[in-house]
Amino acid sequence: MGKPKADIDPDIEPALDRGESIGLMEPMLVPEGSRHKARLDDLAVELASRSAGFRRSLPEGVLKPLADLVRAMNCYYSNLIEGHDTHPVDIERALNSDYSAEPKTRNLQLEAKAHIAVQQWIDEGGGLHGKEFSADGICEIHRRFCEGLPEALLWVEELDTKERIEVVPGKLRNREVTVGRHVPISPGAVPRFLDRFDEVYSSTGRAGTILGAAPAHHRLLWIHPFLDGNGRVARLVSHATLLEALDTGGVWSVARGLARRVADYKSHLAACDLERRNDLDGRGHLSEEALARFTQFFLEICLDQVSFMEGLVEPNRLRARILLWAEEEIRLGEIPEKAGSILEAVLFRGQLPRGEVAHVLGVSDRHARRVVSALTERRALTSESPRSPLHIAFPAELASRWMPGLFPEKAT
């Protein structure tokens, strides 16, 4: 069976519970006695330090627009892992209610918009604080994501019988499933296993949460609480976990790293599904060695993405790329003279009051308004209102010039 979904009310037709022991999910963390533990501890400490240092290095005015762009990037890569390729330029258009006339593309745009809405809810506090491992929190993420999907994506087909089954947002699965070679626990056992999941991962402390992010990621997929959408939900839970434990500010994304090494990612997940091989492979039901290797892989991916973003937004390099773009646009007559000076000032200060633009440029108020208008139309500048200070923006359509490598260029 592939990825069906059910709308059976458990009060009407109770889900089958085969009475599986929650011990089947052990080990849930890499234990102190593991030969991998020291290396994992070092990686967790390094990640905490690097992530905090990166966020502190960013001017306050850059944090929000960068987080907005990374949110679209995170959505792009998380959906790409599921085989749904919706480029951030199309995602950005969807956020502005500019949808494709082609139904499939439009549906994927709406899917991406739903994903971004959930992540924004998480990023802004949204009531998930401290509940990212709870059944209520996990179901809320699934509910919010699925409620934003178009009707066409709210149905799945049972692979063997071809039965079409409706998606019920936020509802735990009520059917048996098979995921590759993995046969998840019976549907009636899911609540018990989620209770254990919450009990373990919500009580580890900050350092333990960083170390537990990868094990929790796999064990949630292993439980397979929903009949569809588990991958996206698991990565959103991981995003919420790292956001809370590392105070990332949402300015880097593990999903990009996982998508760029998707074969390794899926191979690690499959290995973690396996039972322990022998007495040297821990004392739990599942392989301790595989869980440790996935944890190391996950933490190294996180560090790689922090390093990537640090290099991308290093002030002098970012300034040089933006000013080069501005010079070319001025030469082409796309934006007025001296537009680069405004972008440079906003980057340096974090924000720029509109009343200071003319003084910074040494031009008339009328010309200053032309420059601001042109840069706003290109979405290079943004503000909360027509009178609010100007902030830098990082539009997806300029990312290939301003943020090369953040995501693939859109095919023309």
First to last CA, the chain: 38
Residue located via tokens 């998840």:
184
Q: Could you give the CA distance from residue 55 to residue 158 in angstroms, rounded to a whole number?
A: 45
pLDDT greater than 60 at residue 11: no
The number of beta carbons lying within 10 Å of the beta carbon of residue 316 is 7
Better-scored residue on pLDDT, 251 or 281 = 251
SS3 172: coil
Query: Would you kindly state where each structural domain of the chain is located, as residue ranges?
Result: 22-312, 315-402
Structure tokens belonging to residue 6: 């059910």
* Residue 250 near residue 67, CB atoms below 8 Å: yes
pLDDT at 14: 65
Mean pLDDT for the stretch of residues 379-390: 92
Q: Could you give the CA distance from residue 275 to residue 264 in angstroms, rounded to a whole number?
A: 19
Q: Could you give the CA distance from residue 212 to residue 204 in angstroms, rounded to a whole number?
A: 8
83: DSSP letter: T
pLDDT at 127: 73
Kindly report the CATH class assigned to 22-312: mainly alpha
pLDDT greater than 70 at residue 412: no
pLDDT greater than 80 at residue 348: yes
* Residue 219 near residue 235, CB atoms below 8 Å: no
Note the Cα 412 to chain centre separation in Å. 26
pLDDT at 10: 42
pLDDT greater than 80 at residue 160: no
pLDDT at 61: 82
Task: Pick the range with the lowest mean pLDDT from 13-22, 198-207, 248-257.
Answer: 13-22
Mean pLDDT for the stretch of residues 23-31: 97
Cis peptide before 14 (omega within 30 of 0): no
From residue 65, give the alpha-carbon distance in Å to each of 109, 272, 402, 412: 21, 37, 13, 26
Mean pLDDT for the stretch of residues 104-109: 95
The model's confidence at residue 322, banded by pLDDT at 50, 70 and 90, is very high
pLDDT at 5: 38
Helix (H) or strand (E) holding 156: strand 155-157
Which residues have a Cβ under 8 Å from the Cβ of 365 and sit 6 or more positions away?
358
pLDDT at 143: 97
pLDDT digits (tens, 9 = 90+) for 289-300: 999 999 999 999
User: The domain 315-402: what is its CATH number?
Assistant: 1.10.10.10
Share of the chain above pLDDT 70, in %: 96
Q: Could you give the CA distance from residue 168 to residue 147 in angstroms, rounded to a whole number?
A: 9
Which residues have a Cβ under 8 Å from the Cβ of 380 and sit 6 or more positions away?
343, 392, 393, 395, 398
pLDDT digits (tens, 9 = 90+) for 84-104: 999 888 999 999 999 999 999
Note the pTM of the prediction, 2 decimals.
Answer: 0.91
Q: What amino acid occupies position 63?
A: L
Mean pLDDT for the stretch of residues 319-327: 96
* Residue 88 near residue 70, CB atoms below 8 Å: no
pLDDT at 269: 98
pLDDT greater than 70 at residue 411: no
